[in-house]
Structure 1
Amino acid sequence: MKLWLLRHAEPLAAAGLCYGSTDLPAHTLATRQVAERLATQLPPGLSLQVSPLLRCRQLAVALQARRPGLIAAIDPRLRELHFGAWEGVRWADIDRAEFDVWLADFAEVPPGGDGEPVRALMARVAAAWDAWRAGGRDAVWITHAGVMRAALLLSRGMRLPARARDWPGDVLPFGEVLTLE
């Protein structure tokens, strides 16, 4: 079984902005280009599970326009991590002491003071992962970098990162695909 993780196209956001679960649209042209490329790469008969955030829904619609047989379903478990008070703030402007508090207890401390703890993100992505594995079919998730990193950990058998350094640092660029088995 394969799981294709598609990262949305670049959002309409200022460079360096922490936007997490803020519902930003993606660049229209970039979304169209990603859909054109991916429509030829994905095998037939796949189901699309889509984050409810606009930038992912845009990619799903663009893919369906090129591959009418693709059936999409919104899955709230695939939304990006909510960064609390840091949403809409430039990463460079986030107080370093606050950031260090989060990193010191990465799984439990809510980012931005009132965001979603990594434990909660991992739990919801694990629920989606387990449902995919139990379903016994190839699938596509149209989602975000945080969800992709969580899925990568799950593919390695890790249900919760013990430390911030356990979190995968590398991530695919906007509009790219990660395939897991």
Structure 2
Amino acid sequence: MKLWLVRHAQPLIPSGVCYGATDVAADEQATQQAATALAVLLPQRIQVLSSTLQRCELLAQCLRELRPDLTYKVDARLVEMDFGCWEGLRWDHIPQAAFERWTADFGGHRFGGKESVSDVMQRVASAWDETHRLRLDTVWITHAGVIRAASLLAQGVRHVAQADQWPREAPAFGGWCELQFTEQT
């Protein structure tokens, strides 16, 4: 069973701004290009789950126009991490002390007061486990943080305690990666 992890297209927000769970739109042309590339790749009648944020829903909508044979659902578990009071601020304007508190307790600290990495891992693991139980090839249209969490789940990692455990790599905007479910994952 295969899981495609698709990242939304370039959001319409200045570079360097923390926007996690903020519901910002994505560039329409870049979204259409991503949908077109994805449409030719996906097998018939695959299930597509999308984050509820508009930058992901737009990609799902564009894909639906190209591939009406696919099954579409929205899933709030695929939303990016909520950075609370830091949402909408430039990353370089967030006090260094806030980053230090987060790094000291990377898994448990609610950076910005809303959600911790452990919270994100738990909700992504819930979607992961459900997808695995269904034994259907599936596409998640989602965010970099969710994709990073899923890559850890694919390795059997369900808890992250330290910042250096968190993956740095994620697909570019509008890109994707594929994971293969095995009996161990």
Q: Where on the TM-score scale, by shorter chain, does this alignment land: which range?
A: over 0.9
- Using structure 1 for the length normalisation, give the TM-score: 0.98
The yes-or-no answer on 1:150 pairing with 2:149 is yes
Q: 2:53 — aligned with what? A: 53
Q: Which residue of 1 aligns with 2:24?
A: 24
2:142 & 2:72 partners in 1: Cα distance? 13
Q: Tell me how far apart the structure 2 counterparts of residues 98 and 8 of structure 1 sit (CA, whole Å).
A: 28
Aligned residues: 180
The gaps in structure 1 that reach 5 residues or longer are none
Partner residue, 1:103: 103
Question: Is contact 2:11–2:24 with CA below 8 Å preserved after alignment?
Answer: yes
Q: Distance in 2 between matches of 1:12 and 1:139?
A: 27
CA distance in structure 1 between the partners assigned to 2:100 and 2:69 by the alignment: 47
CA RMSD of aligned residues (A): 0.6
Identity level (%): 48
Distance 2:171 2:95 in 1: 27
Q: SS where residue 57 of structure 2 aligns?
A: helix
Residue number in structure 2 paired with 1:124: 123
> What corresponds to 1:177 in structure 2?
176
* Alpha-carbon distance in structure 2 between the residues aligned to 1:167 and 1:161: 7
CA offset at residue 70 of structure 1?
Answer: 1.4
- C-alpha deviation, 1:24, in angstroms: 0.3
Q: TM-score, normalised by structure 2?
A: 0.96
Task: Give me the whole-angstrom Cα distance separating, in 2, the residues matched to 1:149 and 1:68.
Answer: 29
- Distance in structure 2 (CA, Å) of the matches to 1:89 and 1:145: 18
Counterpart residue type for residue 76 of structure 1: A
Aligned to 2:12: 12
SS at match of 2:24: coil
Match for residue 164 of structure 2? 165
1:94: which partner in 2?
94
- CA offset at residue 115 of structure 1? 2.0
Q: Which residue of 2 aligns with 1:67?
A: 67
What are the Cα deviations for residues 37-92 of structure 1, in whole angstroms up to 9, with x where unaligned? 11001111210011000000000000010111112101010000000111000011
Who is 1:134 aligned against? Answer: 133
